[in-house]
Structure 1
């Protein structure tokens, strides 16, 4: 992977809907060359898919929280979390807790419902997000 590949990844992280013509111009390649590089990055598994960034507030989801979980059973908690509609992310981690779970929900009442349901799977510690700064792509 060279600097051009890293530039391609950076641009696609910011806007996955770029055309190959636009991408090629941004990185100094022809559109067929840009398309070939993207195809190779996909074939190597570097690019695993394309997604949309969602504004949760437009979906009436105004509360974001991170749940640090000490589960009784990792397998059962993972199944619970990944099947719950308010879970945006669930990560197995090291340290005092086994999971960090990002919950995006309508209200503190629905957050409380999630916490209550999660207690059947272990001990949750909840961190409510007050505000977020913009995120920047890693590349």
Structure 2
């Protein structure tokens, strides 16, 4: 499903589900002014088309021993398609890497990593991060305070108008 095929009701459904993934279909229907069956059909269509990729619980990182955050710049020794694919595949197997983004500029990747503390990060750096395929150099930046860390998306229609 492409963005152009989403209508205002779809966006309202998505906004409500982002705010509360456990919302009942009855309550969702009420909030978006649809009856239950058409609302459920729209949700199923959004799921099957891949617009809704899944549901999850937002956990308190400190409560689950993952309150320490670092950002790591990674420079690879080579950036041919093969090396990039090997690196991309390998980061999928390191659960502490919360996000991995390929960058344009002075380094190749930016990793967001969550661990229990600096000692556990140091161990991870030596045993996993530096062992990822083709890693030539890393630079670690310790996050002192997380000011904003959203997982929800701001949505705009096909004309770029922000949907509230």
Q: TM-score, normalised by structure 1?
A: 0.87
> Structure 1 residue 6: deviation in Å?
0.8
**Is the counterpart of residue 27 in structure 1 residue 40 in structure 2?**
no
Specify whether residues 21 and 9 from structure 1 end up closer, same or farther in structure 2 by C-alpha distance, changes over 3 A only.
same
Aligned to 2:116: 106
**Is the counterpart of residue 130 in structure 1 residue 144 in structure 2?**
yes
State the distance in 1 between where 2:15 and 2:136 align.
39
Task: Report the count of equivalent residues.
Answer: 139
Provide structure 1 residue ranges, at least 5 long, that are not aligned to the other structure. none
Provide structure 2 residue ranges, at least 5 long, that are not aligned to the other structure. 1-5, 78-82, 156-164
> Structure 1 residue 89: deviation in Å?
1.7
Q: Choose which of 93, 115, 119 in structure 1 pairs with 2:130.
A: 119
> Structure 1 residue 58: deviation in Å?
0.7
What do you get for the CA RMSD once the two structures are aligned? 1.9
**What SS does the aligned partner of 1:95 have?**
coil
Deviates more, 1:80-89 or 1:56-65: 80-89
Q: TM-score, normalised by structure 2?
A: 0.75
Aligned to 2:80: none
